[in-house]
């Protein structure tokens, strides 16, 4: 994950530490990183998720990387990934609207890029 950035001026808080959501554009997460919302994803077996009042802590025992989820909706989506056939299905089950979708896909993309979530074996 990139170095932490300041929070967006709109008052929205990023769902994942170090990820800004105020700059969506043609360089979307789907095309930039290859994150596929129609693939089944799960929390990496080497990752522990610890719920906290602010969201959750994720610790990857393989890379020793620590990530903060600062949005309870993202925490719920990550926890539910294994229960759904795809990330898209998890987003729909969480009630994410089309307008909100790019923000949550960006958060999931950051988690996939840091190996916190991984594609589920078929």
- 26-41: per-residue pLDDT in tens? 444 444 456 899 999 9
Listed in order, strand segments (DSSP E) in 1-122 are 41-43, 47-52, 55-60, 65-69, 117-119
The torsion angle over the Cα atoms of residues 62, 64, 65 and 71, rounded to 10 degrees, is: 90
Extract the tokens encoding 24.
Answer: 């969506």
Give the pLDDT confidence of 70-104 residue by residue, as tens digits: 999 999 999 999 999 999 999 999 999 999 999 99
| pTM recorded for the entire structure | 0.73
d(CA 26, CA 117) in angstroms, rounded, equals: 24
């Amino acid at each position: 994950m990139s170095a932490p950035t300041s929070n967006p001026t709109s008052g929205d808080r990023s769902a994942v530490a170090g990820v800004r959501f105020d700059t969506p554009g043609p360089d979307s997460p789907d095309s930039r990183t290859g994150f596929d919302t129609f693939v089944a994803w799960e929390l990496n077996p080497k990752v522990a998720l610890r719920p906290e009042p602010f969201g959750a802590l994720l610790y990857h025992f393989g890379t020793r990387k620590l990530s903060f989820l600062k949005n309870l909706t993202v925490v719920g989506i990550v926890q539910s990934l294994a229960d759904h056939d795809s990330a898209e299905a998890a987003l729909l089950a969480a009630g994410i609207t089309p307008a909100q979708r790019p923000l949550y896909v960006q958060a999931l993309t950051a988690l996939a890029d840091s190996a916190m979530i991984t594609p589920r074996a078929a």
